[in-house]
Structure formats: structure tokens, C-alpha cells
Amino acid sequence: MPHVSGLRCRECDREYPVEPLNVCDFCFGPLEVVYDYASIGNSISRESIANGPLTMWRYHDLLPVNSEYVLDMGTGFTPLVRAKNLGRALGLDNLYIKNDSVNPTFSFKDRVVSVATAKALEFEFDVLACASTGNLAGAVAAHGAKAGMKTMVFFPADLEKGKIIGAGIYGADLVAVDGTYDQVNRLCSELADNHHWAFVNINMRPYYAEGSKTLGYEVAEQLGWRAPDNCVVPAASGSMFTKIWKAFNEMADLGLIDRPKTGMHVAQAEGCSPIVEAYDQGTPHVRPVVPDTIAKSLAIGNPADGFYALQTVAASSGSAVIAPEDEVVEGIQMLAETEGIFTETAGGVVVSGLRRLVKKGLIKRDELTVAYVTGNGLKTQEVVEDLISPIETTPDYEAFQTAIAAR
């Protein structure tokens, strides 16, 4: 791993070796990977990236993983779709959807888990585990299967069926916890302290989180090596949101794109919006909430990266927006009916949030805007089930005419 020199505390700058650690012993601040950008600069170019695999691993130089442990399941380099129809409906001339619902386990979580799994193999863990709001469970279970590891996924017991089945099918041990995600996370933190298990989003978190940067790199490359004017991104812990901004800035530092002038807009559902509430109140400190939302994949009441997400909003002159609970399904339906993309609740939050940002004048018609669709609608079918009713008929010409007339 020639380009990584260690870990560093985001709060007190103390340095740590490359180990399965996530918090600073001195101040409890989160640890982040430290890169040697001078050496990355010597080996990376637009050309070298373009010649790489058509997956997230084309950005391997900017990820903290040794080549021999890379587990390329085909994650990433997902479509950036020009969304003319949705744009017209919302009043935008230059809208794109980053469709990350088409990854191997149908959410962006494959990106972070790909990096964390490679790290877990390198650190010689036998068990891959996670505390999940839903999509992470499937990603961990699939990567664990491919890596030949034992997998153990913990999630709130009220999770959507598609997400439980979408993890169990890979042979993972499923642990349904009678509690909120934040309680699941607390249990898992205790387990991580006492077992030699790689919890991808706990003891492996500094490496895991870096995987989200590829969502920024890809969009800049797909736009012809430029950062967009706006990004609209859903937040649970807030990590992905901060890493997309980090990605654009790293690319600028390396001379791959111009300095980003992107407005970074973070979207949360009304029933779990601690980051947006702090933004609205003008405080940098996120007050934890007890989630009560249809968007279960975003239901983190005490977001680990909330403080840094607010810093990203400020540094990028972005904003934070709430999607009302009753507009989440509207957003899902709107994206499906205009662009043919079926997203889960997190995508509904983004589309509904984007609509509000345009109405408020925070995103303007001509600006190049990217909306991040991070998960697949087939996993949250229960939220749209009631909208769907087939015309019923016997296999008979007359009966069909009658049935369609009745509709």
C-alpha cells in the first residue's frame, strides 16, 4: 500500500498505524486515513484512470487497500443518467441521476464494503460483521460470501423484508435486534471491543468510509473531468456526503479537475433529520433524535459524521433539506415515472428534497445538478405496494374490453 502512511485523529491530529482502529485513544475523535498525495500524484492521471477496470477499482490509487486483497465484485462505475424528464418536471435544464441502485447488492453500500472487506482480509479477520440500517447487511453478506468469511449482520428487527432476505440468502447469520439502529450500533461497538470480528462500519470504519469517495470520482470523470454545480445526497451517518466533497477536492489537488465550486446539499427524511435540524438552527452540534421514518435506510438518530456533514455544507456553500414523510413515496414514484428508475426510500428523499431546493431557489434552472440515487426500490416494495393495482381480466377479448372500460 504505497500511498497510505497511517491513520490520523480528525480532532487532535494524533497519528496511528494502519490497524483496525476507529477512535482516538486520547480524545475519542474519529480516525481518518492519511495518504501520501505526492506519491499518488506521480502514479495517477486521467489516462491511467480511464485505462482502469470499469468498476470503482479504477480509483485504486486513492483507496487504502493493497492490490492483492482487492475483491472486485463489479461494484461502481454505475450510470450517470441525463434526467431530462425529471428535470423538466422540476424546472431544471441540466439534471443528472447517479444511479447507484444497480450495484451487485443494489445499493451504494457495496462501495464501502468492498474496501472494508479487502482490509478485513489484510488484517486476517475470519468474521465480517456490521450494524446495519438495511442495505449494509446485504453488502456485507455478499462480500463475506465471496471472500469466504463467516458473516454476521445486526439490524433493527422492523427492517423491510427485502433487505432481510437480501442478506440472508448469502448465508449470513442474521441478528434482528429489538431496538433502533443506534441501539444496534451500541451493541455492536461492545461486541467489536470483545471479539476479533471485523465490523465494517465500526472498527474498520476509517477504511470503509473511504469507499464512498468513488461516488465523487466517478461523477467528475463521467461529466468530462469536472465537478457539478450541485450535488443532492441522502444522509444517515452523513459519511458518504462528506466523502463526495472530499473526492472532488482530492481530484483538484491532484490536478485532475478544477477546484470544485459545488454546492453540497444534504437530504434527510422529516422523521429522522438531526443533521438538517442542526443546520436550520444554525448550530454545528447535532442533537440525537429517536427515528420515526419511512426511510429506514437513513434512520440513524445519532449520526457519527453529522458534525462533519455540517462542515461540508458550510465549506461548499451548500444546504440541508428535509423531505416530509408523505413526500418520500411521491419522490419514488416521480423518479420511476419520469426516468424509469425504481429507487428505495432514500432515493425518494433525494427527489423530494431536490424539488424543495429548486422551489426555494437554492438550485437554479441552468446549474449542473447531480442527484444521488443510492438504493434500489425492489428492496422496499412495501412502501409502494398500495399504489399498484393490475387490471384483472379473464383471457377473453370481451372481458378485457369490459375491464379496461371499468378502469
Ligand X SMILES: *Cc1c(COP(=O)(O)O)cnc(C)c1O
Residues that bind ligand X (CB under 6 A): 107, 109, 133, 135, 234-241, 297-298, 344, 346, 374-375
Task: Tell the smallest beta-carbon distance from residue 48 to ligand X (Å).
Answer: 28
As measured in angstroms, the least distance from the Cβ of 392 to ligand X is: 34
Which partner from the list Zn ion, ligand X, none does 84 bind, CB cut-off 5 to 8 Å by kind? none
Closer residue to ligand X (CB): 170 or 241: 241
Tally the C-alpha atoms within 13 A of residue 141's C-alpha that lie toward its C-beta. Answer: 26
Interaction partner, residue 9 (ligand X, Zn ion, none; CB < 5-8 Å by kind): Zn ion
Separation between Cα atoms, residue 170 and residue 53, nearest integer Å: 25
Q: Which helix (H) or strand (E) holds 11?
A: none
Please state, in angstroms and rounded to a whole number, the distance separating the CA atoms of residues 179 and 155.
Answer: 9
**Partner that binds at residue 375, options Zn ion, ligand X, none, CB closer than 5 to 8 Å by kind:** ligand X
Instruction: Read off the DSSP letter of residue 343.
Output: B
Burial pattern 44-75, b for ≥16 Cβ within 10 A else e, equals beeeebeebeebbbbbbbbbbbeeebbbebeb
Selected from 1, 11, 89, 393, the binder of Zn ion by CB under 5 A is 11
Among 27, 50, 165, 169, binds Zn ion (CB under 5 A): 27
Of 250 and 305, which has the nearer Cβ to ligand X? 305
Residue 90 interacts with which of Zn ion, ligand X, none, CB < 5 to 8 Å by class: none
The 153-172 site mask, x for binding Zn ion (CB under 5 A), equals --------------------
Strand ranges for 159-292 from DSSP E = 173-177, 198-199, 230-234, 263-269
Between 27 and 378, CB nearer to Zn ion = 27
Q: Going edge to edge, which strands form the sheet with 127-131?
A: 173-177, 150-156, 127-131, 198-199
Q: How far is 150 from 54, CA to CA, in rounded Å?
A: 28
CB-wise, 94 or 239, nearer to ligand X?
239
- 233: burial class by Cβ within 10 Å (0-12, 13-18, 19+)? buried
Q: Which residue lies nearer to ligand X by CB, 22 or 239?
A: 239
Q: What residues from 28 to 47 belong to the interface with Zn ion (CB under 5 A)?
A: 29
- At closest approach, how far in Å is the CB of 208 from Zn ion? 19
Cα 173 from Cα 103, distance rounded (Å): 22
Instruction: Give Dmax (Cα) for the chain.
Output: 78
Nearer to ligand X, 256 or 309 (CB): 309
Q: How far is the CB of 33 from Zn ion (least distance, A)?
A: 15
Stretch that binds Zn ion, among 20-28, 50-58, 126-134, 338-346 (CB under 5 A): 20-28
